[in-house]
Amino acid sequence: MIEFETVIKNVKDNFLTDLTEAKGAGTLDELYLKYFSKAHGVITKLIKEIPQFSADDKKIYGPVINTLQEELRSHIETARIESEHKQVNDPRIDLSLPLPPKKTGMLHPTTQVIREMNEFFRYYGYSVVEGPEIEHVEYNFRKLNLPEDHPHTSSVEARLLTEYEPPIRAVVPGKVYRNETANKTNNSFFFQYQGVVVDKGITIQHLKSTLELFHKYLFGNDVVLRFRYKYYPEVSPGMGTDIRCTFCGGKGCEVCKFRGWIEVLGSGMIHYNTLKMCGIDPEVYTGFAFGMGLDRLVMAKYGITDIRKLYGGGIVYV
C-alpha cells in the first residue's frame, strides 16, 4: 500500500497550499467543501475507499485517514478563528454599522387577510372551523337545498348544522374549485370565507349589521357597501353585498367591469328546508349564512388588479 501512502502525502501537501490561498482570499468555507463535502470531498473519497482494503490494511490506514481528517478540520477551524480575530481588531472595520436589511419572505396576502378576519370573528364569539376539499354530495348539495351542480364551499355549514345543536356561530375559510373562464375578477380556483349563525330570534338585521361592522374593520369607516336582494337556493331571503370599487372610486374600470361596484359576498337567512334537513327545528330557530369572495376582498385591500396574480407564483406584492 505504498501508493496509498503517497496519496495521503499528496493530500496533505495540496491542503497546505490550498489553506494558504484560502486565508488570503477569505474562502475558508469553499476550502472546507473541497475536502469534506459529502459528494466530492477529497477526504470523503478516501474514506469511501477503505471498504476495498484488506483486513490488515484497514487496521493500518483507517486510523491514518481519521487522523488526517481531524488535522485538516483543525487547521481550517484555527484559520477561521484567526481570520475573525483579525477582522475584529482591524481599525478599518466598523462593527457598529448596521448590515443592510435582508429581503425575507412574508405571508401571502390571502393568508394575512384570513388571519385578520379570524381575529374579528373570534372577538364576536365565532369559532373558526375547517372542512374537506372533497365533499359528499349529501352535505355539498342536498342538505343545502341546492341543485347538484352548484359550486361553493357551504358544505361545512351543512356539517355544522347536522352535527351540532344551536346556538351555532362559526366561520370557515376554504377553497373553491369550479369550471370558470379566468379573467381579472374570476378564476377556476379561489378562496371563500363562509359564516353561519343559528339561534333563537336571529333576523336579517343581525346579518346586515355583522357585515357592516366587518367591512369597516377590514377597510376602515369610509368603506361604501350596497345591499340588494339576490336569489340563492340555500337561503330565503337572499342578500348580495357589493363594495364600491376601490380602484376607480365607483367611476367604472376594468376591474369592476365598469359598474363601479364589485360583488364580494352572497348571504341571507338560512332556508327553512335546510334547517329541517339538518335536524334543526325551523319553527324554533332561525339563522343567517354568508359566503365572501375572499380573493376580491384581498384585491380591494392591497390594490391587486388581477385575481390571477394572487396564485401565479411570482413575488409581485412584497
The predicted pLDDT at position 168 comes to: 96
Pairwise CA distance, residues 39 & 315, whole Å: 33
| Structural domain includes residue 291 | yes
Phi (first) and psi of residue 237, to 5 degrees:
-75, 160
128 CB-near residues (< 8 Å, 6+ apart):
118, 121, 122, 170, 171, 172, 173
Minimal CA–CA distance to 210: which of 113, 123, 111?
123
Share the mean pLDDT of the chain: 85
On whether the CB atoms of residues 35 and 72 are closer than 8 A, the answer is: yes
Across the range 166-195, mean pLDDT stands at 85
Opening angle at CA 262, ends 257 and 263, nearest 5: 125
pLDDT band at 296 (very low <50, low <70, confident <90, very high): confident
The CATH number of the domain holding residue 171 is 3.30.930.10
The predicted pLDDT at position 151 comes to: 59
Pairwise CA distance, residues 197 & 2, whole Å: 85
What CA–CA distances, in Å, run from 242 to 100, 245, 264?
44, 9, 6
Pairwise CA distance, residues 58 & 61, whole Å: 5
Judgement on whether residues 13 and 50 belong to the same structural domain of the protein: yes
- The structural domain count of the chain equals 2
Render the burial of 169-200: b for 16+ CB within 10 Å, e for the rest: bbbbbbebeeeeeeebbebeebbbbbbbbbee
Pairwise CA distance, residues 124 & 167, whole Å: 14
| Structural domain includes residue 101 | no
Domain limit, last residue, from 19, 53, 88 = 88
| Structural domain includes residue 94 | no
| Structural domain includes residue 62 | yes
**Residues of the domain holding 47:** 2-88
Judgement on whether residues 188 and 78 belong to the same structural domain of the protein: no
The predicted pLDDT at position 207 comes to: 96
Judgement on whether residues 197 and 70 belong to the same structural domain of the protein: no
17-61: pLDDT as tens digits = 999 988 888 888 898 999 988 878 898 888 888 888 888 888 887
pLDDT for residue 240 is more than 90: yes
Judgement on whether residues 58 and 115 belong to the same structural domain of the protein: no
| Structural domain includes residue 99 | no
For the ranges 43-47, 52-56, 76-80, 91-95, which has the lowest average pLDDT?
91-95
Judgement on whether residues 170 and 292 belong to the same structural domain of the protein: yes
pTM: 0.62
Judgement on whether residues 190 and 231 belong to the same structural domain of the protein: yes
Judgement on whether residues 133 and 266 belong to the same structural domain of the protein: yes
pLDDT for residue 118 is more than 90: yes
Would you state the cell numbers that stand for residue 233, as one nine-digit string? Answer: 337556493
Question: Would you give the end-to-end CA distance of the chain in angstroms?
Answer: 61
| Structural domain includes residue 262 | yes
pLDDT band at 315 (very low <50, low <70, confident <90, very high): low
For the ranges 28-42, 92-106, 167-181, 236-250, which has the lowest average pLDDT?
92-106
Judgement on whether residues 126 and 183 belong to the same structural domain of the protein: yes
Across the range 79-90, mean pLDDT stands at 74
pLDDT band at 170 (very low <50, low <70, confident <90, very high): very high
Domain limit, last residue, from 36, 53, 88 = 88
According to DSSP, the residues that pair with 168 across neighbouring strands are 198
pLDDT band at 109 (very low <50, low <70, confident <90, very high): confident
Judgement on whether residues 73 and 115 belong to the same structural domain of the protein: no
pLDDT for residue 318 is more than 60: no
pLDDT for residue 281 is more than 80: yes
Judgement on whether residues 45 and 123 belong to the same structural domain of the protein: no
Domain limit, last residue, from 55, 88, 121 = 88
What CA–CA distances, in Å, run from 226 to 56, 238, 245, 253, 297?
89, 14, 11, 18, 15
Which among 122-126, 143-147, 152-156, 231-235 has the top mean pLDDT? Answer: 122-126
pLDDT for residue 288 is more than 50: yes
Across the range 222-251, mean pLDDT stands at 89
| Structural domain includes residue 318 | no
pLDDT for residue 144 is more than 70: yes
* DSSP code per residue over 268-279: EEEPHHHHHHTT
Judgement on whether residues 43 and 114 belong to the same structural domain of the protein: no
On whether the CB atoms of residues 46 and 7 are closer than 8 A, the answer is: yes
Question: Any idea which residue has 490506514 for its cell?
Answer: 61
For the ranges 105-109, 168-172, 276-280, 288-292, which has the lowest average pLDDT?
105-109
Phi (first) and psi of residue 266, to 5 degrees:
-120, 150
Judgement on whether residues 54 and 144 belong to the same structural domain of the protein: no
| Structural domain includes residue 104 | no
